Amino acid sequence: MENEIKLSAIHRLRSVAGHVNSVERMVADDKYCVDVIKQIQAVQAALTKVSELVLSGHLHACVTTAIRGDDASERERVLNEIMDVYKLAGK
C-alpha cells in the first residue's frame, strides 16, 4: 500500500476510534437514541471511506501487478479475491 494511502487510512481509523468511544459514552449516558444512531451512521460512513482507500491501494498495487504479470493463476486468484470481498459486502 502506498505510504500516502496508508497514512490517510490510519488517520481516519484513529478518528473512527474516537467517535466509537464517543458513541459508547452516549449510550452509557442515556443520550437520545436518534442522536446515537446518527453517530453510529457517521462511524459506518467513515469506515466505508477507509475501506475505499484500502481497496484503491490494493487495486493500484497488488491487482495491477498481478494483471501485468505472466502468472495466469495469480491473476485469477487476485480477481477472485476481489469478487469475494464484494460478495461478502452484499450480505
Q: Which of 5, 35, 8, 2 is nearest to 19 (CA)?
A: 35
Q: Which of 39, 41, 19 is nearest to 31 (CA)?
A: 39
Task: Provide the residue type at 57 as one letter.
Answer: G
Q: Which of 51, 46, 37, 43 is nearest to 88 (CA)?
A: 51
CB 18 within 8 A of CB 39: no
The enclosing domain of 22 has a CATH number of 1.20.58.1000
Residue written as cell 487476485?
Answer: 78
* pLDDT, tens only, 29-83: 999 999 999 999 999 999 999 999 998 888 888 888 888 999 999 999 999 998 8
Range of the structural domain that residue 75 is part of: 3-89
* Number of domains forming the structure of the chain: 1
* pTM: predicted TM-score of the whole model, two decimal places: 0.80
